[in-house]
Amino acid sequence: MKNSMTLDAGLEAMGEATAARLKLTPEQRVLLANHVDAEGDEAKASMVLGEAVDMPFSMPIVGGMGSLTTERQITAWVSLSGYFQVAAPPEGTWSIRVTDMARSGRLVLAAQGIPCGQQVPFSYRTGITCQLRFSVQWSQADDTTLQGQVHTRY
């Protein structure tokens, strides 16, 4: 079953899932996690089991360029794998660069010429915290809203 949540809520949930796998006490979990804000108890339970999570996003594009930065979240060295996918607009192609600002801008994903619907795979291991910055460029120098998702397993 796929679950859907925002990028920030997904990062928070990964921290909670890591705490569960490490068998931390409730007090240690409070110190490690930043108040998990997933969309319901069912989503939280499946994430603890390590299932896949879909994290949709929407990003304004001005003059063909845009960026989005997630909030810094505690993730406790979780290993991530999955894919990035553009859902709209259907025309043009995209270049994307994702970096982890919590780890001095370490590269998570870089790809060019991505059409709508193409899945761009990634694999990354976070540090104690994670703050992702998405920078995109559209093949058209126009204004739009980029919509997509990050599908993640951890």
Distance CA 109, CA 114 (A): 12
Task: Choose between 44 and 113: higher pLDDT.
Answer: 113
> What predicted TM-score, i.e. pTM, was given to this entire model?
0.69
Mean pLDDT, residues 97-106: 96
Residue 105 has pLDDT above 60, yes or no: yes
**With bands split at pLDDT 50, 70 and 90, how would you rate the model's confidence at 80?**
confident
Residue 40 has pLDDT above 60, yes or no: no
**10 Cβ contact partners less than 8 Å away, ≥ 6 residues apart:** 53, 55, 150, 152
pLDDT at 2: 46
Helix (H, G, I), strand (E, B) or coil at 103: helix
The radius of gyration of the chain from alpha carbons, rounded to an integer in Å, stands at: 16
Distance CA 136, CA 44 (A): 30
